[in-house]
Structure 1
Amino acid sequence: FWRRSLDHMVVPMLELCSDRILCVKLVFDDSALFIFSVYLPQQNCHHTTFTETLDILNDFVERISNDGNVVIFGDVNANLGTLQGSHGVGDTQTQSGIELHNFCLSNELWAVDTNRATLGPVHTFEMLRNGNYYRSYIDHIIVSLPLCGNVSECVILDNEPGNTSDHLPIITTFRDLTSVKHVIQRNDCVGYAWNKLSSDEIKSTYTSSLDLQCKGILNDLRLIGVNNLENCQIDSYILKLVNGLIECSNAHIPIKKFSKHVKPFWNDELTRLVKLKKKRWREWVSAGRPRNADNVIRAQYKSAKCAFRKCFRCSEFMYEQNELNRLYRSESLDQRYYWHLLNKSRNRASRRLSPIKSDNDVIVSDEAGIRDEWRTHFARLATPSDKPHFHSHAKCEI
């Protein structure tokens, strides 16, 4: 809800909404602000549910990345820890927090409530269970980087009389949002994602804008006369035409944001499956998001999503296994190269178990296999042996 005096500025964005995401567009004179209210799946849900919802939010943000700045707030059910700021670091970051942090980095967003200047308690959620209080920091206000400089105050309210929720309210005050211009930086652009727009969207935005650019150039040429053009004038108009193409593309066409170094295991099969998954998702949304189990469109979407996740996990696992095997093979060859690979394979933000090498020189990385290897190792240590393989000097000291 918003004040009636803002009705002329607020535009509901139904195409950017889902079961857990709502969006409105705040229109200023020469800029726009997209405000998302989100409720991401909690930790009791399957983690893939959180990932899928975050993927939907990421798709929404990418679609409007050229049109204005973004504010995202709500119960994101993700603890960022120290990944973005020092406020509210009672617990280490969760896996959901790591994924949310990567989402923020890829879209140039920041959780302003984690800044050191934030006032109030260092938690946003508290629950009384069996006489004990459980606290966590799972609510955030995430904004585009250009807006961070206009934050004048951020406060987490404690003991608010009107608050009946287990979550504490967060209030963020901005200075003059209308003065913040949305800057599109495409100097290092690797390509345009034409596939993210339909033909109608391209015609209504890119084509119409390019027509206006070309009409101005053609009118100038008609006034001068083509036969009277000098070489320098031809170069000048070619440059104007190229700049017009680049300007229209930057303003209306999304860029490709995929970074190979983030997912080095990515392959052609994953590309095919993710395109199919997005296609099925758009068909499911166009059909009104049917929920009944016997719906064909819903079944196709679920099947495409399952196939992509299965291939994704398999490709990631195989890549990690190959890297670990390469790491342990290099241990006896080149110490500098070995430590380079070892430091490269470490992930401070990961909660995965460290892999081990069994007595048979097999790299074991899954939880059950590691547990069995340690069980075998300690069982062998605790079993008396008659073999004379011991340190005689140590035996005398003992």
Structure 2
Amino acid sequence: MVILMGDFNCSVLDDKPRSLLLRQFFSDSQNIPVNCLSACNGMKSTFVSYDGVYESVIDYICLSSDCIDLVSHCEILDDDCLNVSRHRPITVSINFPVSDGKFNISEKSFKRISWKRATDAQISDYVGNVTNSLNQCTYVCDSKESIDSTYTMLCDVLTGAAGTCIGHRPFQSHLKPYWDSGLCEYHKHMRYYRSQWCRAGRPRNKTNTQYMSYKTAKRDFRRAHRKSANGHMMQLNREIDESAEINTNDFWKQVNTRRMAYNCNKSTSGIKFGEIAHRDQKAITEQWGFYFQDYIRHLPLNILMTNGVIMCHKTLGNCVRH
């Protein structure tokens, strides 16, 4: 599945030359802007000027036409305290079909264990807890089912002992390496002034004190956020440059940690037959079989008179179906 999203600086709802080119691009690439569909909830525009006079739809989340049936929810959200832009956020929920049990997630959810902060006493308690639990368990590994049950039992013992003896890591809402105390202070001020602006009814008049205070705090936070992020990226680039000159192994280690892993989810791939998109391998094979059966049925008679052609089509149809 390919998801195309971002600020296009162009509205598909206008008749301007750029709008016509964008609509043509969506048509040629078979992409559909989900937030332009009638099923999209929330606000009607994705961009609002600072004075609140001009609104338009220039941001899109686009999916391929054969994946639109996977969309379960779409919404353009109103202004949020974490939104440091004049653009409104767009959310799209997608139901990914799962054909086997590989991606099934257990109903049990465990908190993250703070292993780095564990003390010697906690580790000793953890080892004793695991040892006692394993001594009380009986297990055999003479079949596939017994191996699976033993594996589940070992996981339960280890995670249970860790949750009992070792502390949990607290939830961090901002896992950015450049997020420091100064940026937290800017963010705190912005949230405070936004709450004041919301209590005042969210006015968008430049003469309103709450509105201008919120916009000023929001601008300061955005400037500080951009400065911290750029400084962090410059520091990473300097480290990579130094590693490239000193240690080749360290250089590639740092490069690979920043390289995005490509993960293709085959469960979303499919073929559209008629008006229905089929993603299950068995269903796709059956639909190809029906396609070739219908294709042979509509062949001209003079072509069907050739035994070689008939045998070829029969063999092809049977191979596809079976």
TM-score normalised per structure 1: 0.29
- Which structure features the higher share of helix residues? 2
Structure ranking higher on relative contact order (CA contacts 8 Å, 6+ apart): 2
Q: TM-score, normalised by structure 2?
A: 0.35
